[in-house]
Amino acid sequence: MANTQDFNLQTPTWCPGCGDWGIGAAIKSSFVQLGYEPSDVCVVFGIGCSGNMNDFLKAYGLHSLHGRAIASAVGIKLANNALPVVVIAGDGDSYGEGGNHFLHACRGNHDITVIVHDNGVYGLTTGQVAPTALHGAVSKSTPSGIIEMPISPLALAITQGATFVAQSFAGDMHHIVDMIKLGIQHKGFSLVNILQPCVTFNWKNNYHYYFKHSYKLPKEYDPTDQDNAVKTASAMMQESFPLGVVYETSRPSYHEQIVRPEKESSLEDLLNEFE
């Protein structure tokens, strides 16, 4: 059985104190606890500080184009339905450049797990605001404060058809491990949005901020109540961040619904078709 060191590649180059450290360690622990060897799982990385994990995590991996991690993961899952496929990307990659792919992966209920490092900035390009930046956030690209309202990723996922939506916090590794394991075990599209302080470029959303503004969902919370889940998720716009499984339901995933031809075409059949 593998241990977390079996998933190590190079030593990470993240800034000291970055939330990516905790998330990276939690992802390895999750894989070990699920009984995976590095060759049992395929990980698709976006572009950004989180995507640099491509060099730090040993597994079947693809470092995709910016905003195209989810689309690549969907393709891999369609080609090999039995392979667990995990996306590791930032909020810019997932909800900005890749926002269209995110919506369509939710509505298709593609059986992949998307782990988002949600830090509100483009850290790799030195700190421009990203889609979850709070209204008024000051950055290099918004010196007078961002005018737009933040995206509410959990509400977006729930309303677009995702069947598992959870949130965690980079300062609580055990909680991240629990959420990732549940997300991967879920059959269908699963989102694990992780609140991740960027200690270098996002001075507002630091560890102290999230300790103050996040809360664990109580035991009596019902994640199957969609209306309440949307309400709970939308409260993030008012700086109240739920931690836990916010929404979960069950419906067939995309690949389970594909109607296969009775007889698979051979290469020869295909060539004959085009003669």
Nearest residue (CB) to ligand SF4, 31 versus 201:
201
List helix spans (H) across the chain. Answer: 20-33, 69-79, 91, 99-108, 153-160, 173-185, 207-213, 226-234, 267-273
Q: Which of 21, 210, 30 is nearest to 120 (CA)?
A: 210
Check binding of 198 to ligand SF4 (CB under 6 A). yes
Task: Measure the CA–CA gap between 121 and 98, rounded to whole angstroms.
Answer: 15
User: Contact 38/2 with Cβ under 8 angstroms?
Assistant: yes
Nearest residue (CB) to ligand SF4, 109 versus 119:
119
Of the candidate residues 109, 119, 190, 232, the single one contacting ligand SF4 (CB under 6 A): 119
Q: Which of 155, 41, 151, 51 is nearest to 106 (CA)?
A: 155
Task: Draw the binding track, 45-74, toward ligand SF4 (x: CB under 6 A; -: no contact).
Answer: ----x-------------------------
Q: Binding-site residue total for ligand SF4 (CB under 6 A)?
A: 11
Of the candidate residues 7, 18, 168, 244, the single one contacting ligand SF4 (CB under 6 A): 18
Task: Measure the CA–CA gap between 79 and 215, rounded to whole angstroms.
Answer: 39
Task: Measure the CA–CA gap between 130 and 100, rounded to whole angstroms.
Answer: 15
Nearest residue (CB) to ligand SF4, 140 versus 231:
140
Check binding of 44 to ligand SF4 (CB under 6 A). no
Of the candidate residues 7, 102, 164, 201, the single one contacting ligand SF4 (CB under 6 A): 201
Q: Please report how close the Cβ of residue 160 comes to ligand SF4 at its closest, in angstroms.
A: 26
Check binding of 182 to ligand SF4 (CB under 6 A). no
Task: List contacts with ligand SF4 (CB under 6 A).
Answer: 14-15, 18, 20, 49, 119, 123, 198-201
